Amino acid sequence: MIGDIVETKQCQLKDPMDLFHSGQVVKICAPMVRYSKLAFRTLVRKYSCDLCYTPMIVAADFVRSAKARDSEFTTNKGDHPLIVQFAAKEAQVLCDAACIISPFADGIDLNCGCPQRWATAEGYGACLINKPELVQDMVRHVRNQIDNPRFSVSIKIRIHEDLKRTVDLCQKAEATGVSWITVHGRSVEERHQPVHYDAIKTIKQSMTIPVVANGDMKTLKDAENVHHLTGADGVMVARGLLANPAMFAGYEETPLKCIQDWVDIALEHGTPFTCFHHHLMYMMERITSKQEKKVFNVLSSTSAVLDYLNDHYGV
């Protein structure tokens, strides 16, 4: 990581807000546990992704442990603009994490949307949507202590059953200096129910800062439709990009070129086998038969995967 970080320091950090001022819908790769790491970010950037997030990092661990920093965060000079997403519940801890990361990333995002029980039990994630003053305090601390005015501070939220509470949260965050807000259009209890795009539209209409829509976009057409439905300034995609990292470039399913690119990038980055293989399982979901999946999904080494891809797809 240190080599990567030194190299990054010499590169030009970017202002993510420039994307939102470009007049185009900003296409964003979501923070995904285990998956939105450097190698995958490198891949989606080749296919028209404008902005990438790291997986969520627990700020307290990141501040406390050099080992956590080394395992949780790697980057390089091509990995920009980059947002580091933190889970935090104390203003100074988030601020300390932001100060450590600020020379190497273009902004931080506070996770106020993770619905997993462990996160909410610890006071992280989605429970923060019920604590607007704490969110304000955390944003304010970071804004006051990071010197770089181009460093973005954003939040990612879920919605309340009573949308007025969400609008209130967003307006309070905006007043404190949040750069933009990403809205996953489901409540904390909802998992696979339809996304409330009308709620995202209402939030967008009540804000002057950019709003990013998140939830259930599988194709570029879906993303364009959500933009039109909500008026959102950006679209953030998770599972859709896992299934098809070339989605933002307009491909309906993962092209073989993208699979080849993933193999090359993953090997170059020394991606652990399980991660390398899982990404391919996602990417090939739509283009393989049930029988092929049975064979491919139980392969247990990089060489076996490479042989299979070469024999069946010429990759």
**239 annotated among ligand-binding-site residues:** yes
**184 annotated among ligand-binding-site residues:** yes
**32 annotated among ligand-binding-site residues:** yes
The pair of structure tokens assigned to 249 is 């470039």
**33 annotated among ligand-binding-site residues:** yes
16-249: what CATH class? Answer: alpha beta
pTM of this structure:
0.95
Q: In the 8-state DSSP scheme, what is residue 299? A: -
The pair of structure tokens assigned to 115 is 């619905």
Q: How confident is the model at residue 191 (pLDDT cuts 50, 70, 90)?
A: confident
The pair of structure tokens assigned to 178 is 């949040």
Dihedral sign for Cα 249, 250, 253, 257, please. negative
What is d(CA 170, CA 156) in angstroms, rounded to the nearest whole number? 10
30-74 pLDDT, tens digit each: 999 999 999 999 999 999 999 999 999 999 999 999 999 999 999
Mean pLDDT of 190-197: 93
User: What confidence score (pLDDT) does residue 13 get?
Assistant: 83
Where exactly does CATH 3.20.20.70 map onto the chain? 16-249
Tell me the CA distances in angstroms from 1 to 9, 38, 268, 273, 305, one per residue in order. Answer: 12, 11, 15, 19, 27
Peptide bond into 245 cis (omega under 30): no
Marked catalytic residue, from 49, 52, 95, 114: 114
Q: How many CB atoms lie within 10 A of CB 314?
A: 8
Q: 112 catalytic, yes or no?
A: no
